Structure 1
Amino acid sequence: MSRILVAGGAGFLGAHLCEKLLEGGHDVFCADNLQTGVKCNIKHLLPQPYFNFIQHDITSALDVDVDEIYNLACPASPVHYQVDPVQTLKININGAINMLDLSKRNNAKILQASSSEVYGDPEVHPQSEQYCGKVDPVCMRSCYIEGKRCVETLFFSYFRQYGLKIKVGRIFNTYGPRMHPDDGRVISNFIVQALKGDDITIYGTGQQTRSFCYVDDLVEGLIRLMRTPVNITGPINLGNPYEITISQLAQHILSLTGSSSRLVYLPLPRDDPRQRKPVIDRARSLLNWEPKVNLDDGLKKTIIYFEKLLCKGGGSGVLNN
């Protein structure tokens, strides 16, 4: 049994990760300030004897005796991280420093959940880890993008200066149950709009592309990355290389839900990336990992989750703890 800290453990990804680590027989410490994470995501874990919830903001130091640290703490959707961009930067940078210092004190392995956002609006397609990206440091999304890029710099600086056992995974678009219905991400937006019979809002022409990874696959990738030998630091792309246009995604969700919602096209935000598709050769070779859940099956599971949530009256109120 390992003692494992999951920072941001009450969020969408964090809750799934906590659950999987508990199934593996580990002692799990879930730290979350509940800014965007919600207790209902981990409600079923609270009675378990090896699950420990700590309401804490990692921009302040945390002292806990652990063997491994997963740092997932940061709002991940533009709707949330743009509300308070200064705080988003603090969570990324100050939070990472506190987690790295905790790792140093405990001689613990530490994994950073980085993001495909570090590639910005890419001029190289698909994106491999060798690509340095095309990023506007003053755009509306830069508080998150540059925050994640700075965190990667911090991790490799601690690795080089102190010999920390670091892992960096670059997460591409991920979806599944426990997504927030109002988080502004495209899959949750489309499913909720379709189920309610509202217009489905597509920004731009809908020809921009994304690649979507089901949450169970992504969590398995994170765990496998943490389990690699110390000489494997990353960064490693974690995502599904199946690429689809936003318009195709909308039509697919309409078909799966049987919705009669209309497609409505709105202006594309200036800093919205035109294409995203990961090269996952490193993940395949170093982690023996690739996604298993196809988009059709993953969407069906996610639609069932949102159907149940909406039947219970879930919506923006789901953020109530």
Structure 2
Amino acid sequence: MKKILVTGGAGFIGSHLCRRLVNDGYEVICLDNFFTGSKRNIQDLIEKPNFDVIRQDVTQPVKFNVDEIYNLACPASPVHYQYDPIATMKTSVLGAINMLELAQDNGAKILQASTSEVYGDPLVHPQLETYWGNVNPIGIRSCYDEGKRAAETLFFDYHRKCAIPIKIIRIFNTYGTAMHPNDGRVVSNFIVQALSGQDLTIYGDGQQTRSFCYVDDLVAGMILMMNSDPDFIGPVNLGNPGEFTMLELAEMVKAMTQSRSSIIFKPLPADDPKQRKPDITLAQQKLGWIPRISLKEGLTKTIQYFSNLEGL
């Protein structure tokens, strides 16, 4: 039985990945410091014989035997990664080094969960993997953006110098069940505000765009990437190319929740990208991957999840 380590495995995306891998019959180790992850996200997995949990920060070295590593550990929403920007940078950089060293010790294959934020506020639209980005290295978002860019550098350098088999994906806006209600991401913000009768808050004029990928589609792409041709290491964009303005999303959530909330506008935060849309041609060609869950279908599942949370 293949043994797989998932760092950040109790987080939003990590818990979905752990569940899929456990259900597929693999032996899964979840490593998480529970800063943004939650035991609630993996509660149904705790008693499974092929699932283990280790409470530890990825910035600390680990020593055990694994065949594959999915490195997801890092706060991924502005509220959380800006809470302690130095810790965020350490998580990306030291975490990458520690997991790459573990991969080297085990002869293991390792996948880095990078992000569309490496493209910054893009001047090219949609974003191709060959685009180097338009980034601010000293802004309030830089701890996350630059941390992920540095992690990609480390992965390629370890691959070139030490022949470690690597895979790199760049995740575009992902949503779904198990999102933290206070993580500051736009989908969870709008849903929580709509369900609790608060005003739906749009930052800027509402015309900035995002492309929203449901978490099940993303997890399927991650596994395909891990199991792809050894010569294909990425980076590869994983996201839904359907593009929506923030105003369109707010109106859709308001209608689907039958909320009487108003939509209000506040100033746009610094360095917030105006457009974000992946070009997924490479993922289609190399992985045979396309997202299959529409925004309306995914929002229906996500709204139902939040509706069942206590306090909303």
TM-score, with normalisation over the residues of structure 1?
Answer: 0.97
**SS class of match (1:140):** coil
User: Deviation string for 1:205-257 (max 9, x for gaps)?
Assistant: 00000000000000000000000121110000000000000000000001100
Letter in 2 for 1:54: I
User: What is the count of residue pairs matched by the alignment?
Assistant: 312
**SS class of match (2:168):** strand
Cross-structure match for 2:266: 266
1:43 correspondence with 2:40: no
TM-score, with normalisation over the residues of structure 2?
Answer: 0.99
Cross-structure match for 1:117: 117
Structure 2 unaligned residues grouped into runs of 5+: none
Cross-structure match for 2:86: 86
User: Deviation string for 1:162-187 (max 9, x for gaps)?
Assistant: 11100000000000000000000000
CA shift, 1:73, in A, is 0.1
Deviant stretches of 4+, over 4 Å: none
1:277 correspondence with 2:257: no
Cross-structure match for 1:174: 174
CA shift, 1:64, in A, is 1.4
Cross-structure match for 2:201: 201
**SS class of match (2:29):** strand
Cross-structure match for 2:311: 313
Instruction: Provide the C-alpha distance between the structure 1 equivalents of 2:125 and 2:261, rounded to a whole number of angstroms.
Output: 32
Alignment of 1:107-186 (within 5 A): 107-186=107-186
CA shift, 1:313, in A, is 2.5
Instruction: Provide the C-alpha distance between the structure 1 equivalents of 2:137 and 2:147, rounded to a whole number of angstroms.
Output: 10
Instruction: Provide the C-alpha distance between the structure 2 equivalents of 1:287 and 1:25, rounded to a whole number of angstroms.
Output: 22
1:18 correspondence with 2:18: yes
Letter in 1 for 2:302: T
Instruction: Provide the C-alpha distance between the structure 2 equivalents of 1:29 and 1:15, rounded to a whole number of angstroms.
Output: 11
Instruction: Provide the C-alpha distance between the structure 1 equivalents of 2:52 and 2:235, rounded to a whole number of angstroms.
Output: 29
Instruction: Provide the C-alpha distance between the structure 2 equivalents of 1:287 and 1:3, rounded to a whole number of angstroms.
Output: 23
Instruction: Provide the C-alpha distance between the structure 2 equivalents of 1:63 and 1:174, rounded to a whole number of angstroms.
Output: 31
Cross-structure match for 2:105: 105
Cross-structure match for 2:241: 241
Instruction: Provide the C-alpha distance between the structure 2 equivalents of 1:289 and 1:230, rounded to a whole number of angstroms.
Output: 17
User: Deviation string for 1:290-311 (max 9, x for gaps)?
Assistant: 10000000000000000001xx
CA shift, 1:13, in A, is 0.3
CA RMSD, aligned part only?
A: 0.6
Instruction: Provide the C-alpha distance between the structure 2 equivalents of 1:58 and 1:254, rounded to a whole number of angstroms.
Output: 39
Cross-structure match for 2:286: 286
Instruction: Provide the C-alpha distance between the structure 1 equivalents of 2:70 and 2:243, rounded to a whole number of angstroms.
Output: 28
Cross-structure match for 2:73: 73
Instruction: Provide the C-alpha distance between the structure 2 equivalents of 1:247 and 1:313, rounded to a whole number of angstroms.
Output: 26
Instruction: Provide the C-alpha distance between the structure 2 equivalents of 1:58 and 1:284, rounded to a whole number of angstroms.
Output: 32
CA shift, 1:23, in A, is 1.0
Identity score, percent: 59
Letter in 1 for 2:243: E
Cross-structure match for 1:318: none
**SS class of match (1:43):** helix
User: Deviation string for 1:110-135 (max 9, x for gaps)?
Assistant: 00000000000000000000100000
User: Deviation string for 1:259-314 (max 9, x for gaps)?
Assistant: 010001000112100000000011001111010000000000000000001xx236
Letter in 1 for 2:261: S
User: Deviation string for 1:29-81 (max 9, x for gaps)?
Assistant: 00000111011100110000000000010101011100000000000000000
Instruction: Provide the C-alpha distance between the structure 2 equivalents of 1:240 and 1:175, rounded to a whole number of angstroms.
Output: 11
Structure 1 unaligned residues grouped into runs of 5+: 315-321
User: Deviation string for 1:145-177 (max 9, x for gaps)?
Assistant: 000000000000001001110000000000000
Instruction: Provide the C-alpha distance between the structure 1 equivalents of 2:311 and 2:116, rounded to a whole number of angstroms.
Output: 33
Instruction: Provide the C-alpha distance between the structure 2 equivalents of 1:269 and 1:30, rounded to a whole number of angstroms.
Output: 34
Cross-structure match for 1:253: 253
Instruction: Provide the C-alpha distance between the structure 2 equivalents of 1:130 and 1:58, rounded to a whole number of angstroms.
Output: 29
Instruction: Provide the C-alpha distance between the structure 1 equivalents of 2:259 and 2:38, rounded to a whole number of angstroms.
Output: 29
Instruction: Provide the C-alpha distance between the structure 2 equivalents of 1:35 and 1:302, rounded to a whole number of angstroms.
Output: 22
Instruction: Provide the C-alpha distance between the structure 1 equivalents of 2:36 and 2:250, rounded to a whole number of angstroms.
Output: 26
